[in-house]
Structure 1
Amino acid sequence: MNQAPRINFAVTPLLRIAYEEHGPASGAPVILLHGFPYDPRAFDEVAPALAQRGYWVIVPYLRGYGPTRFNNPSILRSGQQAALAQDLLDLMQALAIPQAGLCGYDWGGRAACIVAALWPERVRCLVTGDGYNVQDIPRSTQPLDPETEHRLWYQYYFHSARGVESLTQNRRELCQLLWRLWSPTWTRGTALYPLSAPSFDNPDFVEVVIHSYRHRFMYAPGDPTLEWMEERLTAQPAISVPSISLCGADDGVGPAPEFDEDAEHFSGVYERRVLAGVGHNIPQEAPQATLRALLDLLED
C-alpha cells in the first residue's frame, strides 16, 4: 500500500508554497505540476510509483490552490506565465534543488516549459502536456478559427464581470463543467472531482485565475518585476532539454492536431505521443503513460 504523501511548506519571496512529498530526499528530484482547474490529486498514481523507484517527488499546489498562500496582502495575485515559472524556480531554490526532472500540463506545463527554455541547466528532462506551452502573448489578439474560439469560451467569460462573479459564486460547479467538457471520454472524472474541488476554495483562487486569463490576452497588466521574463518569452525560445510531449486525442479544449505544430520549438531530443481515449487531464487519465514517459527520460 502506498504511504500518504508528506505535506510540507517552502517559504519563497512571495509565497508559502504547500507541496506533497514522496520518496527519499536523497533521491533524484522530480517535480510534478498540475494545471487549471486541477490540483496534486492529478498525480496520485504517478508520484508513488516514482517514489518506489527511489526518486524524490515534489508535487506543489500552484499559487491560488489548496494551502499555498501569498506572504502578504499587497502582493499582486498574478496568474501570468512568468509568475508560474518564477514560483517553480523559487521552490527549487527553497528546497536546494539545483536540477530536477519536470512534468507538467496546462498551467504547470507552462511553468515547466518556461524554466526548461530559459534555464535548461536546471532541468534534467521535461514531460509536457500538449507540447510547447509558452504563450505568445503579442499575437494573442489575433482571432483563431471559429471552432477553436468556441472551445475557449471560458477564457472570454473570465474577461467579464459576470464571469468573475460566476467563478466566485459557482467555482465548484463551473470547474466540474470544465472537467467534463475537457475530458469527455474519461469515466472516472465524476468520482474523482470531489477530491480536487476543495483546492479551489483557496482565498486567492478567483483573483489568480481571472488575472491569468486576462493577462494572456493583454487585458490586464502583469507584475512589473517579471516584465523582463515576459519580454524574453516573446521570442518563443526553444527548449533544448530531452523532452516528451503527451497529447490527449480526446482533449476537449485543445485536441491534438494530426501535424505536430510544436516540434519546431524543441531543439534537443524530442518525441510526441498522442494518447488515445485521453482528454486534457493527462496524468490523472493516463498515469501509466505519464510514468512511462518520465522513466524513459530519467532512466535513459
Structure 2
Amino acid sequence: MNMSLPSRRAFLRQTGALALALPALRVHGAALAATRRVSTDSLEFAYATAGPEDGRPVVLAHDFGYGIESFASVAPLLAAAGVRVLAPQLRGHGATRFIEATTPRSGRAAALGQDLIDFIDALHIPEAVFAGFGWGAHAAWAASVVRPTRCVGLLLAGAGRIDEAGPRERYLYASTAGRRALATAPRTLAREDWRRLSPRAPFDSALFAQVAPGFDNPDYAHVLAHAWLSRHAPDDPDAAPEPRHAALERKFIQPAAKPIAAITLDGGASGAPSAPRNAVTGPRVHRVLPGVGHHLPHEAPRAFADAAIALVHHGKWRT
C-alpha cells in the first residue's frame, strides 16, 4: 500500500528513534512574538511566522492555557529545514480578537477547526500540515474534518488532555464559581496546570512570564469553558453550538471524507490520557516520550519538529 507516511521503522530511523526528545537536550530558541495580524470573517488573528515564505507551511496550534511561545524552540528547527512556520494565537488567547461583539465565544471543534482553515485562507495558503498540542491538537484535527483537502498531515501531541474530566475540571468549567475563578485568576490556574502536567520538567518562569499576558484576553474564560462543556456536557445550555456552524457540526459525526496521515505523540510523564486510536483515520505513527510532560513542544522540541518535518517530506501535496 502506498502510504503518505513512512513506515514506523523508517520514521523512527529518520528521527533518530526520537532519542533527542529528552528534556535535557532542549533547544533554546528566541522568543516567538505575535507581531503580525490577519483578519478572517470572525477573528483578527495575531500570529508569528518564521522560515522561508515559499516553504511548505506548518501551522502550529498551542494548547489552551499556553501560547505560541511554547513553540519558540520548535520554530527555528522547522525554519532551518525550509519550512514556513505559522503560529496563530487561538481564539480567546493573546491579541487575537473577535471582530463582532455578537459572535458566540464558542470553543466547539467546528469553530476551532474553521478558525484554522480561515487563517490559512486569509494568508492565501492552499494546504498545510497542522501541528498542535492539547486543545491545539484538537483544533488541528478539527481543521482536517472541516476541510480535509486542505490538510496534508496532522501532528497531534498530548491530544488526550481534552478528555480530562475530573473534579477540578468540572468545578472550573461547569460551575459559576469556577468560571469566575477562571476569569479572575487565569495565571494562577494556568501555572498549576503547567506544574501538574509536566511534573519532571523544571518550571520555566521566564517562559510563563512571556505566555501569561495572553490569558488577559477578554474571551479567555468563556472560550475555555465552552470548549470543555461542548465535549463533556454537550446538553448544557451553555455549550450550544453556533447556528452558522450547523452544517460543519454534522461532519464531526460522519465517516471521515479523506484519510489523513498523522503522527501522535504523548509525554510519558504528563499523566494525561492518550488520544484514542480512532481519532485519526489515515496511516498513523504513535510515540510515547519517556520522562516528557504535556508541554511537549517546549520539553521535547526536536522530537516535535522532526515529526512535523517527516509529515512535510512525506505528505501528498497538491500544490
TM-score by length of 2: 0.81
Q: Is the 8 A contact 2:267 2:291 kept in 1?
A: yes
* Residue identity in the other structure for 1:195: Q
Q: In structure 1, what is the equivalent of residue 262 of structure 2?
A: 243
Q: Is the 8 A contact 1:158 1:164 kept in 2?
A: yes
CA distance 1:236–1:181, shift in 2 (3 Å): farther
2:251 match: secondary structure: helix
- Structure 1 distance, partners of 2:228, 2:175, is 11
- Structure 2 distance, partners of 1:297, 1:228, is 29
Q: In structure 1, what is the equivalent of residue 15 of structure 2?
A: none
Deviations 1:152-184 (A, max 9, x none): 622443211100111122111111111111111
Matched, 1:154 2:174: no
Runs of 4+ in 1 over 6 A off after TM superposition: 132-135
Q: Is the 8 A contact 1:134 1:236 kept in 2?
A: no
Structure 1 gaps, min length 5: 136-147
2:277 to 244, 263, 267: 263
**What's the offset of the Cα at 1:299?**
2.1
1:76 to 94, 98, 104: 104
* Residue identity in the other structure for 2:222: E
* Residue identity in the other structure for 1:10: V
**What's the offset of the Cα at 1:39?**
0.6
Deviations 1:55-81 (A, max 9, x none): 211000000111101102111111111
CA distance 1:183–1:132, shift in 2 (3 Å): closer
CA distance 1:180–1:133, shift in 2 (3 Å): closer
| 1:1-300 to 2 correspondences below 5 Å | 7-130=35-158, 149-150=165-166, 153-216=168-231, 217-218=233-234, 219=236, 220=238, 221-235=240-254, 237=256, 240-252=259-271, 254-256=272-274, 262-300=276-314
Q: Is the 8 A contact 1:5 1:22 kept in 2?
A: no
1:206 match: secondary structure: helix
- Structure 2 distance, partners of 1:228, 1:132, is 26
Percent identity of equivalent pairs: 34
Q: Is the 8 A contact 1:245 1:271 kept in 2?
A: yes
Moved more, 95-104 or 239-248: 239-248
2:174 match: secondary structure: coil
CA distance 1:227–1:155, shift in 2 (3 Å): farther
Aligned residues: 282
Deviations 1:26-63 (A, max 9, x none): 21111100011101011001112111222211000000
Q: Is the 8 A contact 1:20 1:60 kept in 2?
A: yes
- Structure 2 distance, partners of 1:176, 1:210, is 17
Structure 2 gaps, min length 5: 1-28, 315-319
Q: In structure 2, what is the equivalent of residue 138 of structure 1?
A: none
Q: Is the 8 A contact 1:24 1:51 kept in 2?
A: yes
Q: Is the 8 A contact 2:77 2:302 kept in 1?
A: no
**What's the offset of the Cα at 1:236?**
6.4
1:299 match: secondary structure: helix
- Structure 2 distance, partners of 1:207, 1:149, is 17
Flag the structure with higher helix content.
2
* Residue identity in the other structure for 2:190: C
- Structure 2 distance, partners of 1:233, 1:296, is 27
1:192 match: secondary structure: helix
Q: Cα RMSD over matched residues?
A: 2.3
Higher relative contact order (CA 8 A, sep 6+): 2
Q: Is the 8 A contact 2:66 2:211 kept in 1?
A: yes
TM-score by length of 1: 0.86
- Structure 2 distance, partners of 1:149, 1:182, is 14
- Structure 2 distance, partners of 1:166, 1:213, is 15
